[in-house]
Structure 1
Amino acid sequence: MDILKNKRMILTFLLIISVVAGVQAVDTKNKREIQPQVMHIVDESSAGSNISLNIEFKNYQESNPEFLIFQVFINTHSEDLSVYDDLGSYLAVKVDEVPVKPEIIFEKRGGGHHISNILKVKNNYQGKRLMDEGTKDIKLVFKNIGEVEERVHSFKF
């Protein structure tokens, strides 16, 4: 009797998992499907020279945001991070492999060995949206942080 009950619970669990996996999320505000692969690009990390960068893409669900918002965490236990207060001078942006120079705004939070910046990238460059339905990827390229020549954080759509 217990074996039959356990089998039913397992089958019920598997059925629920199958249904949940098959359902696609819908952004009701914009009536736009959220592509499942987007869930895998929310977070990008890189490490080198005792400094780690973790980037979180914050507004991937919005169809036409004014700014693309990223949270940039810079962490170390041995380096002086104050030299990266103007993180914009270390950053290049690429959209579908094309370098662009949109307006960038930084809001610095934290200090010492743990810095958290909010990076706002204007979603408009030369009259065209950086992120729209045709965008395949956006890359944030950080140059010369620590002794690492280039750190590429790629967000694919």
Structure 2
Amino acid sequence: MTKKTKRIIVIAVLFAFVVSSLYAQVIISQQKKQSNTQTKTTYRQDSKQSTSSKNNSPDPLIINSEGFITIGVRYLNPIKDDKDNLVFEVFLDNHQIDLSTLNFNGKVLFSTSEGIKVNNAKWWIEGSGHHVMAFIKIPKKINGKNLITPKTKYIQLELQNIGGVKLRIYRWDKKFLN
């Protein structure tokens, strides 16, 4: 075999390697895009991942990565109780828009298993850019009545029309309500 033939074979093998690597990257990229368009809700309720300091219960963080904004919501009361309010810490993450301009007015609905609904939550955003934090506060009592009672099986926070997603539901069951 001549030197010229050996060089051609080496170049052909290297070319095939480069082309197959690029093809693999395209396939991986397409799979990531597909998985990002599907509903992704992750519950961090595994005590190995994180535990709260108040009652050593699982972390009440729920993450939804639908649309072009990933939104994680942590129900803070099991970790650090607020005397007058139910408090939710909201993590927002994206690479397309400045999230500090986001408006939650009319986009937050709180409800309980008993059918109580509250849609006038207080909220504010901290930070600016593509990664911000928001807080949502809802009074523990409405018209003198507790929102959460011993009969409450779950509480739910709905975020509507944020980041290209019509409805995101975050639900915490009884283990987070005591």
Return the TM-score normalized by structure 2: 0.59
Greater RCO (CA < 8 Å, at least 6 residues apart): 1
* Shift of residue 47, structure 1, vs aligned partner: 1.2
Matched residue, 1:76: 94
Superposed CA deviations along residues 77-99 of structure 1, whole A, max 9, x for unmatched, are 11342442x31321111111625
User: Among residues 70, 73, 81, which one is paired with 1:55 in the alignment?
Assistant: 73
* Shift of residue 119, structure 1, vs aligned partner: 1.2
Report the structure number with the largest CA radius of gyration: 2
Distance in 2 of aligned mates of 1:108 and 1:63: 20
* Shift of residue 72, structure 1, vs aligned partner: 0.6
Alignment of 1:104 onto 2:121: yes
Number of residue pairs matched by the alignment: 121
**Counterpart code for 2:66:** G
Matched residue, 1:126: 143
Cα RMSD over matched residues? 2.4
5+ long unaligned stretches in structure 1: 1-26, 28-33
* Shift of residue 63, structure 1, vs aligned partner: 8.0
Distance in 2 of aligned mates of 1:126 and 1:147: 35
Q: What SS does the corresponding residue of 2:142 show, helix, strand or coil?
A: coil
Matched residue, 1:8: none
Structure 1: 4+ residue segments shifted above 4 A: 61-64
CA contact (8 A) 1:50 1:79 kept: no
CA contact (8 A) 1:105 1:120 kept: yes
Q: Structure 1 residues 132, 102: closer, same or farther in 2, change over 3 A?
A: farther
Return the TM-score normalized by structure 1: 0.66
Distance in 1 of aligned mates of 2:145 and 2:59: 23
- Structure having the higher strand fraction is 1
Matched residue, 2:167: 150
* Shift of residue 65, structure 1, vs aligned partner: 3.2
Distance in 1 of aligned mates of 2:148 and 2:119: 12
5+ long unaligned stretches in structure 2: 1-53
Superposed CA deviations along residues 114-151 of structure 1, whole A, max 9, x for unmatched, are 12012111111232111232221110001111111100
Distance in 1 of aligned mates of 2:152 and 2:127: 32
